[in-house]
Amino acid sequence: MNIPRGAYVAVKQCMKIKKGEKVLIITDQKMNQFLSKSIEYVCKQQGAKTSLVNIKPLERNGQEPENEIAKLMREFDAEFLITSKSLSHTKARKKACESGARIASMPGITEFSFTKGGLTANYNKVKKLCLKMFFEIKKAKKLELKSSNGTDIIFEIGDYALDIDEGLYHKPGDFGNLPAGEVSTSPNDFSVNGKLVIDKMGRFGENIIFEIKDSFVEKIKGSKILEEEIEILGNKARIIAEFGIGTNPKAKIIGNILEDEKVLGTVHMAIGNNTSYGGKNDVQFHQDGIIFKPHLIVDQKVLIKNGEWV
């Protein structure tokens, strides 16, 4: 079996799987089975007791898994969630972490990430870049986000947790994405205003325009699929839930949200559930959108100019 470099990085550096640990790998049939089997192979090499489970594919990011799976997730030391839709912003994942599991969420991950992309990074370097940006914005109040394609929004942060996702999940309860590499938070309630033009938003398309008032997306242009889904989910799905900055120098723009949002120099915004940051907008939906070459100004200081860190 020709195991890709990313599987070794994920198991040995990022999750630090040890002999005798109970490891759960969750996947579904929409995913490349080679990827989950590669993770399983390296875990077994490390001497872990590994269980690989295929679940029914979820319909959307943030949807809760079946109760049986949610219960199972509370019984392991470490978990790899290699699913087509994200389990990151679910009660099942949060309760598993509260039970002591450390979890790597890898929704929609591709073979490229395992072989050439963000999962092949040196995560000690990713951590340094995360910390650099964290200290730049941890005391920030007013942020301005612009781009050449028309983005022009103003918002505030500070009320919710500022999260560093550096990809090193070694302690019980640790959680993040793989590939990792972002600093993120939920903007202060009612603080986001302006026009947001999203370059890429997964299956919902490209060049999607949000007209935002008081953190509520009043109008959506450029994606009928997104409009229809939000119509079903209700107004909670219209709330701006996340602002994040990519910090992974190995990640590439490939049209995959998980990889794209980690690219050094990009930023992303999300709508929907923000409870992971301590927010109260609880909805079974969380969708990120990427701005590829942003211009970010923090308290009148330029931090990113046309996709390049200053």
- Dump pLDDT digits (tens) for 129-153: 999 999 999 999 999 999 999 999 9
Domains of the chain and any CATH numbers: 5-119 (3.40.50.2300), 122-309 (no CATH)
pLDDT (0 to 100) of residue 73: 99
Starting at the earlier edge strand, list the strands of the sheet with 102-105. 49-55, 22-28, 78-82, 102-105, 175-177
pLDDT (0 to 100) of residue 1: 76
pLDDT (0 to 100) of residue 103: 99
pLDDT (0 to 100) of residue 243: 99
Dihedral of CA 24/28/32/33: which sign?
Answer: positive
Pure H helices in the chain: 5-8, 33-45, 67-72, 91-98, 111-115, 123-137, 224-233, 257-260
Residues of the chain with confidence (pLDDT) below 70:
none
Give the chain's mean pLDDT.
97
Q: 3-class DSSP state for residue 229?
A: helix
Give the gyration radius of the chain's Cα atoms.
18
